[in-house]
């Protein structure tokens, strides 16, 4: 006892007296920390420092404040935004024929382009003071989503000017003169913007762009001025073929020291009129056959004045920070909006198709194999919309949460891919034959595009989500890294010492907290609600605590190697991401008034997300370098094993049945889908056939019952059965007419397009005139 008491006293002195602690504990650890600290390039540091920490920080720290999340007011459309949706957007949707756009003209009609420009579709984020719409993030997202259910090519065209590009960069960083020069034109459509970042040698590694600008003197408008001589070769630039103003990212160098002592100034962004001598635009890429404008841009020895730098000369070299700060917001709106639209359209049309399509005398939606895929479609659509709404809520709060938007971009495009795969499987031949009657094909072609752009998904999952989250969301690590990088060693040690004590306490709390929650199954965790979703809050808090513990141990034991252990990082990123998606799902359920009809979607989604969290943890434990520590972590977090299960077949059947039941619940799940009143529109035809068949279901049952009773013949075409049923008095003349009409609509809805010989010729791309970007 005396010995133990002496040890406790010694520890108290060592940790309690700052000077002793710093010399005996902090200083040695500080030296080790500097050695294991992952090396950060300037671009990586700027990416780490950019953006805000929001709900991702709560999840990462192991003790999420659920009440704080639920009390966050969801972003809603204001009166002007709703009116724009009801009027301009509806008018636009009725103007679009996506089959003609993609397969015949390979561009939108002139009247559509004129309408987009005149009505401010390209100016949704520009302030009203400059003639813009000044819409919220939720409006931007909702408008793009709704357009995407009608035409992906048009949605992308609208999306890009309202995402990362000249408009957003000007609003945040432009000089007053630049704003006055460009924003009114961008608002009224006389200027069409594009932004060129990606090139042949720099895709995901945007910091490695070889495009170069040299500070020098040159002639501009008849006078010698200080400026930049540029050379660039960019590709995959949306709107470049039709742009009038080019936003350009390049590396700026000053070999003669005309701006100061620094020779390599860094990544810089400039605005250049495409009519400027030497700028080349107009060539087009052909992104998987879709019709949105996308192409390369080139420039050789193009001289521009220095004040064309966005923000003016003072912002030379600050381009990368500008880009990552703006990209995090755009990434949370654009591609998540497309992914959500995919879910809405797939859910509404697959439910309808599964009801009207018959095989073996039954609607195919009654077969369990079809129901399994439909359950995934419905549940993932609920999660997609939940995540869309939560993410834009953060953006409308004025935040720019880089980790959250990376989660949204990656997981929402991946879920869209899975949803569309299931929808294509169920539609089968209806889904794979292109033509005016195919409402899935263009979305299917667009999925790889969404997966690729704005940070390729492999990069986003393996390097960004946990890579940034581990430092930005952790309460102490980023501060410790800054302390280690402090050129004043004494000041750095002092800051590190203060953080280290808190970090040790944080780690101990997570260890013992995880153990307690593992032993008790999280039953003592708090929940902000009662009822059927209460248990999910408890389990998500438990998994949050486990994530915090594993993240700390990983950073401690692997240090700089963790950045290279991409698969380990990705698995912890999956835990964080699924926690976020689950949070969004629970918040939506509460925000929308706990709709009973939504419970199957909520239960299925939460159970699946918890199962995937368990899978991610299991993969992390199985591949962690220290087998001893992996075993310890697994026993602490899951002392009785990982017991999360996939949702039951019964729950999946409930969702499948809901998708085949018209009404308010189905309309709320798929409210973004545009259903045209045009008698030949594919979506409208399928919707009308579905509604007609459901309305005639009672009549159909009478005929089937009569067939089973032998009153009318079995195994004959259903049209004949209708007539025999009328003759036998099984149905009335009015009922016969109603079900004839329903059958005619059903037959029209399940048709696919076919073309006469010679019609398809000329709809492809000639090999003449095609060339590689590098050759061009």
Active-site residues: which are they?
A: 454
Pairing state of beta strands 193-196 and 245-253?
Answer: parallel
Q: SS3 sequence, 560-582?
A: HHHHCCHHHHHHHHHHHHHHHHH
CA 401 to chain centre: 13
Helices (H), 592-647: 599-623, 627-637
Q: In the chain, how long is the greatest CA-to-CA distance? A: 104
For residue 552, the 8-state DSSP code is H
Query: What are the Cα distances from residue 268, in Å, to 253, 313, 715?
Result: 10, 10, 73
b/e burial code for range 593-603 (CB count within 10 A of at least 16 → b): eeeeebbbbbb
Q: What's the token pair of residue 518?
A: 């593992």
Torsion angle, alpha carbons of 28, 30, 32, 37, to 10: 180
What is d(CA 320, CA 312) in angstroms, rounded to the nearest whole number? Answer: 15
Q: Which residues touch 24 (CB under 8 Å, ≥6 apart)?
A: 14
Q: Which residues touch 336 (CB under 8 Å, ≥6 apart)?
A: 141, 384, 387, 388, 391, 408, 409, 412, 413
Query: Phi/psi of residue 309, each to 5°?
Result: -65, 135
Residue whose C-alpha is closest to residue 161's, from 377, 18, 330 = 330
**Contact call for residues 69 and 61 (beta carbons, < 8 A):** no
Query: Phi/psi of residue 643, each to 5°?
Result: -110, 15
Query: Phi/psi of residue 601, each to 5°?
Result: -65, -40
For residue 661, the 8-state DSSP code is S
What is d(CA 386, CA 537) in angstroms, rounded to the nearest whole number? Answer: 16
> Is residue 37 left, alpha or beta, with left meaning phi > 0 and alpha meaning psi from -120 to 50?
beta
**H or E stretch including 418?**
helix 402-427
Query: Residues, the chain, total?
Result: 776
Number of H helices, E strands in the chain: 34, 9
Residue linked to tokens 């999340």: 69
b/e burial code for range 642-653 (CB count within 10 A of at least 16 → b): bebeebeeebbb
Residue whose C-alpha is closest to residue 319's, from 310, 327, 328 = 310
What is d(CA 434, CA 446) in angstroms, rounded to the nearest whole number? Answer: 14
How many beta carbons lie within 10 A of that of residue 118, not counting itself? 11
Residue whose C-alpha is closest to residue 192's, from 123, 144, 139, 269 = 123
Q: What's the token pair of residue 600?
A: 């199957």
Query: Phi/psi of residue 273, each to 5°?
Result: -60, 135
**Contact call for residues 556 and 504 (beta carbons, < 8 A):** no
What is d(CA 490, CA 656) in angstroms, rounded to the nearest whole number? Answer: 64
Three-state secondary structure call for residue 367: coil
Q: What's the token pair of residue 105?
A: 């003209």
| DSSP assignment of 137-196 | HHHHHHHHHHHHTT-HHHHHHHHGGGSTTHHHHHHHH--HHHHHHHHHHHHHTSS-EEEE
């Amino acid at each position: 006892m005396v010995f133990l008491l002496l040890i406790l006293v010694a520890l108290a002195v060592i940790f309690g007296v700052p000077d002793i602690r710093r010399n005996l504990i902090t200083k040695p650890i500080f030296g080790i920390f500097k050695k294991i600290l992952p090396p950060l390039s300037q671009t990586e540091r700027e990416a780490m420092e950019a953006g805000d920490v929001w709900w991702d920080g709560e999840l990462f720290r192991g003790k999420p404040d659920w009440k704080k999340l639920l009390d966050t007011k969801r972003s809603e459309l204001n009166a002007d935004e709703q009116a724009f949706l009801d009027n301009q957007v509806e008018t636009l949707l009725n103007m679009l024929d996506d089959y003609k756009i993609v397969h015949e003209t390979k561009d939108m009609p002139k009247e559509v382009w004129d309408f987009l420009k005149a009505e401010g579709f390209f100016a949704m984020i520009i302030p009203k003071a400059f003639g813009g719409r000044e819409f919220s993030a939720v409006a931007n997202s909702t408008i793009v989503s709704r357009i995407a259910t009608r035409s992906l090519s048009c949605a992308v065209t609208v999306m890009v000017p309202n995402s990362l590009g000249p408009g957003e960069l000007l609003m945040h960083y432009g000089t007053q003169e630049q704003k006055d020069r460009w924003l009114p034109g961008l608002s009224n459509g006389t200027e069409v913007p594009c932004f060129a970042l990606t090139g042949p040698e720099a895709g995901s590694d945007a910091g490695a762009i070889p495009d170069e600008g040299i500070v020098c003197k040159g002639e501009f408008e008849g006078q010698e001025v200080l400026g930049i001589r540029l050379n660039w070769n960019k590709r995959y630039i949306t709107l470049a073929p039709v742009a009038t103003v080019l936003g350009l990212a390049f590396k700026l160098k000053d070999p003669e020291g005309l701006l100061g002592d620094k020779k390599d100034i860094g990544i810089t962004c400039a605005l250049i009129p495409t009519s400027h001598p030497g700028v080349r635009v107009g060539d087009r890429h052909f992104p998987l056959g879709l019709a949105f404008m996308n192409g390369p841009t080139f420039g050789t020895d193009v001289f521009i004045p220095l004040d064309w730098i966005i923000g003016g000369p003072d912002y030379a070299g600050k381009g990368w920070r500008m880009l990552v700060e703006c990209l995090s917001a755009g990434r949370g709106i654009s591609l998540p909006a497309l992914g959500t639209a995919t879910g809405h359209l797939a859910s509404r049309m697959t439910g309808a198709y599964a009801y009207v399509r018959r095989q073996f005398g039954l609607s195919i939606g009654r077969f369990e194999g079809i129901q399994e895929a439909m359950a995934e479609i419905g549940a993932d659509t609920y999660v997609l919309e939940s995540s869309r709404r939560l993410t834009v809520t953060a953006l409308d709060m004025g935040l720019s949460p880089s980790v959250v938007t990376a989660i949204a971009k990656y997981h929402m495009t991946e879920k869209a891919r899975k949803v569309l795969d299931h929808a294509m499987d169920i539609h089968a031949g209806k889904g794979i034959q292109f033509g005016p009657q195919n409402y899935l094909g263009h979305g299917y072609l667009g999925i790889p595009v969404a997966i690729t752009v704005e940070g390729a998904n492999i990069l986003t999952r393996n390097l960004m989500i946990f890579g940034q989250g581990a430092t930005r969301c952790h309460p102490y690590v980023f501060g410790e890294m800054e302390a280690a990088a402090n050129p004043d060693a004494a000041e750095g040690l002092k800051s590190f010492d203060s953080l280290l004590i808190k970090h040790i306490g944080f780690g101990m709390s997570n260890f013992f907290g995880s153990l307690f929650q593992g032993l008790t199954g999280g039953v003592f965790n708090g929940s902000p609600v009662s009822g059927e979703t209460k248990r999910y809050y408890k389990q998500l808090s438990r998994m949050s605590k486990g994530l915090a513990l594993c993240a700390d141990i990983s950073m401690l034991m692997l240090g700089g190697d963790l950045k290279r252990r991409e698969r380990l990082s990705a698995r912890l990123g999956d835990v964080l991401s699924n926690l976020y998606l689950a949070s969004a799902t629970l918040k939506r359920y509460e925000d929308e008034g706990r709709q009973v009809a939504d419970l199957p979607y909520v239960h299925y989604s939460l159970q699946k997300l918890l199962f995937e969290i368990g899978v991610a943890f299991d993969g992390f434990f199985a591949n962690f370098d220290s087998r001893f520590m992996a075993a310890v972590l697994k026993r602490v977090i899951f002392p009785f094993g990982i017991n999360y299960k996939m949702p039951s077949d019964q729950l999946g059947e409930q969702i499948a049945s809901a998708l085949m039941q018209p009404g308010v619940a189905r309309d709320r799940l798929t409210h973004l889908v545009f259903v045209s009143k045009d008698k030949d529109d594919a979506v409208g035809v399928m919707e009308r056939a579905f509604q007609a068949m459901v309305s005639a279901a009672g009549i159909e049952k009478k005929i089937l019952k009569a067939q089973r009773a032998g009153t009318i013949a079995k195994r004959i075409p259903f049209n004949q059965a209708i007539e025999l049923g009328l003759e036998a008095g099984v149905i009335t003349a009015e009922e016969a007419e109603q079900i004839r009409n329903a059958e005619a609509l059903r037959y029209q809805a399940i048709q696919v397009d076919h073309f006469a010989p010679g019609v398809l010729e000329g709809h492809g791309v000639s090999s003449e005139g095609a060339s590689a970007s590098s050759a061009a």
